Amino acid sequence: MSNEIADKVKKIVVEHLGVEEDKVKPDASFIDDLGADSLDTVELVMAFEEAFSVEIPEDAAEKIATVNDAIEYISKQKAA
């Protein structure tokens, strides 16, 4: 399950930020490493919400800074 989530998260990041797939490493920061600005990250979180049918409240969204942060948060929500 978590591999599925990881793959899907990576795919969304590639699509939305227009970056090469091999750059989307677990510890890659959306803003520092993948060229996103603050609005990009808002859109990214919305895309995660849509794709995984989860709600990510604003205070949680603010803490999602890296690819791994996103995978972990979504995995936890799905497991709950």
Partner 1 sequence: MSGSGTSRKRVVVTGIGVVSPLAVGAELTWKRLIESQSGIGRITQFDASGLPAQIAGEVPEGPTAEGGLTLSDWVPVKEQKKMDRFIHLGLAAGIQAVEDSGWKPESEEDRCATGVMMGSGIGGLKTIYDNSVLVSSGKARRLSPFFIPSSLINLTAGHLSIRYGFKGPNHAVVTACASGTHAIGDASRLIQHGDADVMIAGGAESAICELGIAGFCSARALSTSFNDSPTTASRPWDEERDGFIMGEGAGVVVLEEYEHAKRRGAKIYGEIGGYGLSGDAYHITAPAENHEGAFRAMQAALKDARVTPSDIGYVNAHGTSTMADDLELGAVERLFGDAAAGASMSSTKSAIGHLLGAAGAVEAIFCLQAMRDGILPPTLNLDKPSRESVMDRIPHTAKEKHVDIALSNSFGFGGTNASLILKRFKA
Q: Is position 32 an interface residue for partner 1 (rule: CB under 8 A)?
A: no
Question: Quick check: helix, strand or coil at residue 31?
Answer: coil
Catalytic annotation present for 22: no
Cβ count within 10 A of residue 75:
17
Q: Is position 43 an interface residue for partner 1 (rule: CB under 8 A)?
A: yes
- Among candidate residues 37, 40, 59, 69, the one labeled active-site is 37
Q: For the segment 51-80, give every residue that binds partner 1 (CB under 8 A).
A: none
| Interacting residue with partner 1 among 50, 60, 62, 76 (CB under 8 A) | 50
Question: Alpha-carbon torsion 22, 18, 46, 56, what sign?
Answer: positive
